[in-house]
Amino acid sequence: MEQALHDDDSPVQEARLWQGNGWTARVIKNEDDDGWAVAMIKDGEPEPALVGPWTMGRDKKNPKPLDLPAFHTLVKTANEVLRRHEQQLHAQLHKQVLVNTQAGQIKVLLDIVPDEDDPYATLSAVDADGEQLAQVRVAPDFKLSASSAERWIDGGYRRP
C-alpha cells in the first residue's frame, strides 16, 4: 500500500522511499550484485550516513517494501553509526595523557583544530586542581605520548 503524502510537512511513505524523523530511507539497486540496498540520508546531508543490504520481496526480483518498523530500525541504526563516527572523530582530535611529577599529577591535553586553511593543535597542561599550567600552539600532527608530555614538562613547557 503506497501512502504518498507530499505536503511540505507530511512524511513520504512509499514502498521504496520513506521520510521522517530527520531521515530519508531510499531503497536502491545494489551496485555489487542483483540485490537491493537501502540508503539512509540525514536531512540536509549530501551523502548517506548508512548504506546496507535490503531484503528481496516474495517475487525474488523486487525489494521488500519499506514499512514503519523497518524505517524505525533503520533510523536507530543510522543514528548509532553517526554517534560512533562522532565519538571516533572526537577521540582523534582530543587526546590526553597523565604524567606523574614531583609536584603531583599533570594532565597534558592535545586538542587538534582541523581547519582547512590553517590546521593546528593546542598542547596544554593542567594540574590536579584543574589549574592550567601552560598552553602552546603546536603542529596538528604533534604526537602526544607519555614520553613527549614528560619532555615538554621537563623542558619548562617550552614549545616542542
Residue 61 lies in a domain: yes
Query: 61 falls in which pLDDT band (50, 70, 90)?
Result: confident
Q: What is the pLDDT of residue 122?
A: 97
**Whether residue 36 sits in one domain with residue 84:** yes
Query: How far, in Å, CA of 149 to CA of 99, rounded?
Result: 7
Residue at 36 is within a domain = yes
Q: Are residues 67 and 13 in the same domain?
A: yes
Residues 9-55: tens digit of each pLDDT: 667 899 999 999 999 999 999 877 778 999 999 999 999 999 999 99
CA distance 155 to 45: 46
Do 78 and 107 have their domain in common?
no
Q: Which three cell numbers stand for residue 23?
A: 531521515
Q: Which residue has the higher pLDDT, 9 or 115?
A: 115
Which residue segment(s) compose the domain that 150 sits in? 102-154
Q: Is the pLDDT of residue 2 over 70?
A: no
Cα–Cα distances (Å) from 123 to 45, 88, 101, 114, 131, in that order, read 33, 20, 18, 14, 14
Q: How far apart are CA 108 and CA 68, in angstroms?
A: 48
Instruction: Tell me, yes or no, whether 69 and 35 share the same domain.
Output: yes
Based on the fold, state whether residues 38 and 111 are members of the same structural domain.
no
Q: Are residues 113 and 71 in the same domain?
A: no
- Which residue type sits at 22? G
For the chain, what is the mean pLDDT?
91
Q: How many domains does the chain have?
A: 2
pTM: 0.71
In a domain, 160, yes or no: no
Q: What is the pLDDT of residue 10?
A: 67
Q: Check whether residue 25 and residue 73 sit in a common domain.
A: yes
| Least confident window among 2-6, 20-24, 119-123 | 2-6
